């Protein structure tokens, strides 16, 4: 982004509250099990890590990815669809 000169976007991203990613493998396995049990197939490991951390830190996910919308209905995290 720096090479494209997106200063406004860089400033916005710099001001986002950042949380440390903590991977809880047992919780990931559980999340994947619940997804599969509810017909939500093809959720990648990175999406599961993001969802697990959103649940753990009680935070919201902003995304265009439809997996997060469906997972937000199964698990306790907020979801906002980006434009």
CB atoms within 10 A of CB 47: 19
Residues 29, 46: contact at Cβ < 8 Å? no
Point out the least confidently predicted range of 1-5, 31-35, 43-47. Answer: 1-5
| Distance, CA of 78 to CA of 61 (rounded, Å) | 6
Using one digit for the tens of pLDDT, what is the confidence trace for 34-64?
Answer: 999 999 999 999 999 999 999 988 888 888 8
Residue from 44, 55, 53, 45 nearest 78 by CA: 55
Residue 73: alpha-carbon gap to chain centroid: 13
Rounded Cα distance, 61 and 51, in Å: 8
pTM over 0.85: no
């Amino acid at each position: 982004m720096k090479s494209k000169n997106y200063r406004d976007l860089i400033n916005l991203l710099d001001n986002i509250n950042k949380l440390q990613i903590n991977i809880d493998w047992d919780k990931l396995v559980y999340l994947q099990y619940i997804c599969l049990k509810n017909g939500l197939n093809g959720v990648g490991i990175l999406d599961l890590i993001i969802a697990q951390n959103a649940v753990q830190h009680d935070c919201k996910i902003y995304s265009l990815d439809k997996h997060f919308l469906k997972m937000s209905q199964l698990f306790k995290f907020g979801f906002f669809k980006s434009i």
